[in-house]
């Protein structure tokens, strides 16, 4: 076993985006591509010498090979120990939990999350810090800087490590502990929720369909929902993780989880439907004939948090990403707690959670979580809903109707234009930016613009400032449009248009969102010239 120092040179474009570095798999598989980025992670975080890390991924194509490379590089860089999920598998929230529970110096997660996987699809690598959360911008910038000046990396020459067998082995001087990916996470869930009440719910005949989308949550959901809580066998479908997610797109939304949606709106619908994404941090919640938008789900969980043992004592505060609907703000106001507005991406919640300013957080992109880990957590959100349903003994539809009657309804939708020509997308954003000062007072589609700006965030904990986080147009009466370019795509640019309208009129609470938002939708096109500039007549994905 020899330690090799390999000469290399900087590779362009290794800039971590909203959540780690994501590229097409063939790009990641190019000689030295992964090696360079991993060395940059070590160099950018003060070196690996003497440190302990968690390592795992969502099982997508190249996960197993990348794990062997990362282990050999950690050993060659002097790491003391790596704790790795069996077969190099760990869901993102489970990795976050292990980093915290075992007090490691951080962790490396191999995933491109909700992006498809496979030899021609996407792969990703993300570094999480010792709090269990995605590296904050200061750290990702230091890593990126390293990628631009790298001249060598260190790697051990050795045979593959057996990752199928649980237990401890050595790789050179470094200890490797292969752990059951599910056990610690399952224990954490049991410490948060009323498992007794959920067990009784299933025992009473309550039915569930959980679609793991051939991704990482399959084994977690089987163990927790079926084996521990008593959901009928077969309630968890597509439960075996596959390297290309069964050829699907592991993003739990009405488009990509269409099979589940069809079932939930049919006469065969079970009481409750849910799905999770590639790496297990996203969730979709759907009742019988009732799809719950992620923004609404976050608001409902906040409003019902006292029904869950871990949050019984009340929430310290809540937080949402800026484009997420403001349904949460109304709940926070009624609870008399703070509601923070952060830029898109979970890394911005870390400081608020660490400082005890927020207990629950969420994003419109199907991400919800709490201070139990430092990532969003798909299965946690599903268990939260089950706990609420078990206590309230109402259907999802009834809970939603009740929520809107109490707080009003924030009609909400996101329109995505994918793989748009980058120049056209930047042109659109630049034009909007230039026109911002002239917008207030202007009337569009019968609505008056009250304010317009580009969102910047001043972190109240560490004082750091993040600029350029999305353009917002605010209408009198509570309507809002947000324009943003995605930071997770791997092809051209993805334009995200976030649309929102507040309704408090009781008779108008049960409309179809696209219908309720039609004025806002055409205002968005007028303001940003979406059709003209992108050449698209309709969004690729509507959530």
Span 115-174, contacts to ligand VG1 by CB under 6 A: none
> What is the footprint of ligand VG1 within residues 496-515 (CB under 6 A)?
496
293: nearest Cα among 283, 279, 302? 283
Which of 345, 470, 479, 539 lies at the binding interface for ligand VG1 (CB under 6 A)?
Answer: 345
Query: Could you tell me where the beta strands, DSSP code E, fall in 190-261?
Result: 208-211, 236-237
Q: Are 21 and 40 in contact (CB under 8 A)?
A: no
Residue nearest to ligand VG1 according to CB distances in the complex: 113
- Which of 279, 296, 364, 500 is in the footprint of Co ion by CB under 5 A? 279
When binding is defined by CB under 5 A, the residue of 35, 194, 251, 277 that contacts Co ion is: 277
**Residues β-bridged to residue 273:** 209, 286
Size of interface with ligand VG1, in residues (CB under 6 A): 18
Using the rule CB under 5 A, which residue among 63, 113, 368, 439 binds Co ion? Answer: 113
350 binds ligand VG1 (CB under 6 A): no
Q: Cβ neighbours of residue 429 under 8 Å, at least 6 residues apart?
A: 471, 483, 485
From the list Co ion, ligand VG1, none, partner contacted by residue 487 (C-beta under 5 to 8 A by kind): ligand VG1
Q: Is residue 503 near Co ion by the rule CB under 5 A?
A: no
Residue 367: name its binding partner from ligand VG1, Co ion, none (Cβ under 5 to 8 Å by kind). Answer: ligand VG1
Residues 104, 238, 488, 543: which binds ligand VG1 (CB under 6 A)? 488
Confirm whether 113 is a catalytic residue.
yes
Of 202 and 210, which has the nearer Cβ to ligand VG1? 210
Q: Please write down the HEC assignment for all residues of 459-481.
A: CCCCCCEECCCCEEEEECCCCEE
Q: Supply φ then ψ for residue 447, to 5 degrees.
A: -115, 145
Residues contacting 530, CB < 8 A, separation 6+:
417, 428, 495, 497, 524, 536
Stretch that binds ligand VG1, among 164-172, 233-241, 274-282, 450-458 (CB under 6 A): 274-282
Provide the H-helix boundaries in 209-326. 217-221, 258-264, 294-303
Q: Report d(CA 211, CA 229) in Å as an integer.
A: 17
Q: How far is the CB of 381 from ligand VG1 (least distance, A)?
A: 12
Dist CA 34 CA 26 (whole Å): 11
CA distance 297 to 317: 17
Contact pick of 487, 511, 536, 542 for ligand VG1 (by CB under 6 A): 487
User: Which letter does DSSP use for residue 87 in this model?
Assistant: E
Residues of span 275-314 touching ligand VG1 by CB under 6 A: 277, 281-282
Q: How far, in Å, CA of 159 to CA of 127, rounded?
A: 25
Task: Kindly name the residue from 96, 113, 321, 325 that is annotated as catalytic.
Answer: 113
CB 433 within 8 A of CB 470: no
User: Measured from the CB of residue 295, what is the shortest distance to ligand VG1 in angstroms?
Assistant: 11
Taking CB under 6 A as the rule, does residue 344 contact ligand VG1?
Answer: yes
Contact 69, 163 (CB under 8 A): no
Restricted to residues 356-385, the positions that interact with ligand VG1 (CB under 6 A) are 363, 365, 367
Instruction: Give residues in contact with ligand VG1 (CB under 6 A).
Output: 18-19, 113-114, 277, 281-282, 321, 344-346, 363, 365, 367, 486-488, 496
Active-site positions read 113
Instruction: Give residues in contact with Co ion (CB under 5 A).
Output: 113, 277, 279, 281-282
């Amino acid at each position: 076993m020899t330690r090799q120092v390999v000469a290399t040179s900087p590779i362009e474009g290794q800039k971590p985006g909203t959540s780690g570095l994501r590229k097409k798999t063939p790009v990641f598989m190019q000689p030295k591509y992964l090696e360079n980025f991993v060395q940059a992670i070590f160099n950018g975080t003060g070196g690996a010498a003497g440190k302990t890390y968690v390592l795992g991924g969502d099982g997508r194509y190249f996960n197993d090979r990348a794990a062997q490379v990362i282990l050999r590089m950690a050993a060659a860089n002097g790491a003391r120990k790596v704790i790795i999920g069996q077969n190099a598998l760990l869901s993102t929230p489970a990795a976050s939990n292990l980093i915290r529970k075992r007090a490691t110096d951080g962790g490396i997660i191999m995933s491109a999350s909700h992006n498809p996987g496979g030899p021609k699809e996407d792969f990703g690598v993300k570094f999480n810090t010792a709090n269990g959360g995605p590296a904050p911008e200061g750290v990702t910038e230091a890593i990126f800087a390293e990628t631009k000046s790298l001249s060598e990396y260190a790697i051990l020459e050795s045979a593959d490590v057996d990752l199928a067998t649980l237990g401890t082995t050595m790789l050179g001087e470094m200890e490797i502990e292969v752990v059951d990916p599910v056990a610690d996470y399952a224990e954490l869930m049991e410490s948060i929720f009323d498992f007794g009440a959920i067990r009784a719910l299933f025992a009473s005949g309550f039915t569930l369909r959980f679609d793991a989308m051939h991704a990482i949550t399959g084994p977690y959901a089987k163990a927790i929902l079926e084996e521990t809580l008593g959901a009928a066998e077969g309630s968890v479908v597509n439960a075996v993780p596959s390297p290309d997610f069964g050829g699907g797109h592991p993003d739990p939304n009405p488009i990509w989880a269409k099979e589940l949606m069809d079932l939930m709106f049919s006469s065969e619908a079970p009481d409750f439907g849910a799905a999770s994404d590639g790496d297990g941090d996203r969730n979709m919640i759907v009742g019988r004939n009732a799809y719950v938008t992620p923004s609404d789900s976050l608001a409902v969980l906040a409003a019902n948090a006292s029904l869950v043992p871990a949050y019984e004592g009340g929430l310290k505060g809540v937080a949402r990403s800026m484009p997420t609907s403001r349904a949460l703000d109304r709940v926070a106001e009624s609870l008399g707690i703070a509601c923070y507005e952060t830029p898109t991406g979970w890394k911005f919640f870390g400081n608020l959670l660490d400082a005890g300013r927020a207990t629950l957080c969420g994003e419109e992109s199907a991400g919800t979580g709490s201070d139990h880990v430092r990532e969003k957590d798909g299965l946690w959100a599903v268990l939260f809903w089950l706990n609420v349903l078990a206590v309230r003994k109402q259907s999802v539809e009834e809970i939603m109707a009740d929520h809107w009657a109490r707080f009003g309804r924030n009609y909400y939708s996101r329109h995505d234009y994918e793989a748009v020509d980058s120049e056209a997308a930047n042109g659109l954003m630049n034009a909007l930016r230039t026109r911002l000062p002239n917008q207030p007072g202007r009337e569009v589609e019968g609505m008056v613009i009250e304010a317009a700006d580009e969102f910047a965030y001043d972190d109240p904990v560490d004082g750091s400032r993040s600029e350029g986080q999305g353009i917002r147009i605010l209408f009198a009466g509570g309507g809002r449009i947000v324009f943003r370019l995605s930071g997770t795509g791997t092809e051209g640019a993805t334009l995200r248009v976030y649309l929102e309208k507040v309704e408090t009129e009781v008779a108008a609470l049960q409309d179809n969102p696209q219908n309720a938002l039609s004025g806002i939708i055409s205002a968005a096109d007028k303001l940003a010239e979406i059709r003209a500039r992108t050449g698209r007549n309709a969004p690729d994905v509507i959530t």
